[in-house]
Structure 1
Amino acid sequence: MSIDKTSAGTKLLSTGLKMLQLIDAVADYKNGVGVSELARHLGWSRNVTHQYLTSGVAADWLVQGENQKYSVGFHAAVVARNASPHGRIRPLLLAEMNELVQIVNATVSYAVLDKETPIVIDRVEPNRAIQIRSGLESRFSLRTSASGQVFLAHAPGLIESSVIDSDEEELQEIIRRVKSHGASRVHSRWLGDEIIAIASPVFLRGHCVGALSVIMPAIRSDADAVEAALVACSKSINHQLLNQQNGMSQW
């Protein structure tokens, strides 16, 4: 086992660091990445890269698709779900999400920001068990998705990034709508279907830590009522989190 030492004398496992580096690199490829391309990116040999990728698949941190490309696997979503702060607020979120799904009769999701990409880590569907989806369907565009627009409106640092032009009139209109309505609404395609997606922010300690969203068929005519129910749900969550915070809880 290879071990490196820091200047302070603390021993670090170089193999562990390399595995984490590889997983982080794979996560940057939204459509997956092949062995050769990843090896060039990391500056490793192809054989070493393949060995680490195979180990990642065996541990359920990575998955290999039919196109032979590798993507972040299911276990990463589980860890993200349990990570702070989501792991601590999840019981409250799931209770509210289950109640909301009964009201709107549509899929309710909760997304967090992974670098500059919203990723769904919890989803409740009508008449189905709670489940976590992983893979490409759980990642959305920062600019064109409802959840992404919520993060844009409440995370100024994203607008200042090289990915987003803060001077664009369209972007400013998106932000105005989210802040005035308490939600973002987009018409899009999801898993091949025309849908309406509506998202509203979840706050913890004054920061937007997640986006609660509803996805429903575009043919439905009750989008205004669904949006009102979603906003009411997110406000309820935010109110409960604020009360727990003020009550000197561990949140």
Structure 2
Amino acid sequence: MLGTFEKARAILDLYTTERPEWGVSEVARQLGMPTSSAHILLASLAELGVLHRTVAGRYRLGFKLLALSQVLLANTPWREVAQEEMNRLGRALGETLHLAALDGNQVVLVAGVPGHLPGSVRLPRVGTVLSALTSASGQVLLAHRPREVVEAVLAATEDPLTWDILVELLEQVCTGGYAREIGKLALGHSSLAAPVRNHNGEVIAALACSVPSDRFRDREGHLRAALVQACTQISLRLGYHPELSGKGLLVWSSVEGRDKLYPAARRSGARRRPKSQTP
């Protein structure tokens, strides 16, 4: 059963903006599986509504995914809070902003604000997968993940980055409080990213600012300060507070459609233990 799910995931990962449609033989060839197996998997996904079979016998993503995405976005309260602060920051800076989260071994863009200055970096679409190792957003997210997660991400890529170099890089991100990416993903573009924390102090997202390299150097200091401040504001609105982060966990509870933070239930006689802040 697990193998079937993994194959279905591999099929869905083939779909991109540039390749929105696939045929049975193309999927079989790309994934190295028998044509009969590809046909069964594609037909099954189409029956579930995850894929849509065209009159030409090819497959596109189905509207079921759109419906599920709306459920996900509607039940991610921190995204709405972040979007409000991003809109304010975007008006102040004029540069392109995006919010990204770690989903398995991938970094996915979940919100964005286009820049309005001349030559602003083009904003990728929501759902775009970013590089976990070379993007500023990915480095921020990985810097606050356990070793096994970082190892899994590194093992799943073909990036020549070694473990020792990656660890040193992520330690710098933790120490500095932000990540910096200079023209690695797109020639002529540079980015800064900082962490967004939830009520329990966990880094749940990274907010990034992408800027044309020709004005990045002159604006870097100002952009970094404004970006870190915006992340702090988002985190505080989500219930995070450094002085209180060790005084017990908080949980989101939904009552009559409204999300609110409440102290987590504690076992009788349990001793309060300060939360470790070690990255």
TM-score by length of 1: 0.69
3-state SS in 2 of match to 1:226: helix
The residue number in structure 2 matching 1:11 is none
**Among residues 214, 219, 237, which one is paired with 1:219 in the alignment?**
214
**Among residues 73, 84, 92, which one is paired with 1:95 in the alignment?**
84
Q: CA deviation at 1:22?
A: 5.9
Gaps of 5+ in 2: 118-122, 242-248, 254-259, 262-279
The residue number in structure 2 matching 1:8 is none
Whether 1:158 and 2:149 are equivalent positions in the alignment is: yes
Whether 1:26 and 2:26 are equivalent positions in the alignment is: no
The whole-number CA distance in structure 2 between the counterparts of 1:72 and 1:125 is 26
The whole-number CA distance in structure 2 between the counterparts of 1:154 and 1:167 is 18
The residue number in structure 2 matching 1:242 is 239
Sequence identity percentage:
24
3-state SS in 2 of match to 1:142: coil
3-state SS in 1 of match to 2:107: strand
Alpha-carbon distance change, 175 to 243 in structure 1, aligned in 2, over 3 angstroms: closer
Count residues in correspondence. 225
**Among residues 189, 194, 198, which one is paired with 2:192 in the alignment?**
198
Contact 1:77 1:132 in 2 (8 A): no
The whole-number CA distance in structure 2 between the counterparts of 1:122 and 1:75 is 21
TM-score by length of 2: 0.63
The whole-number CA distance in structure 1 between the counterparts of 2:67 and 2:225 is 30
Alpha-carbon distance change, 238 to 70 in structure 1, aligned in 2, over 3 angstroms: farther
- What is the CA deviation profile of residues 197-227 of structure 1, one whole-angstrom value per residue up to 9, with x for unaligned ones? 1111111223221111111111112122111
Does 224-233 or 38-47 show the bigger shift? 38-47
Aligned alpha-carbon RMSD (Å): 4.3
Alpha-carbon distance change, 84 to 125 in structure 1, aligned in 2, over 3 angstroms: closer
**Among residues 166, 186, 208, which one is paired with 1:171 in the alignment?**
166
Gaps of 5+ in 1: 1-13
3-state SS in 2 of match to 1:155: coil
Q: Larger Cα Rg: Structure 1 or Structure 2?
A: 2
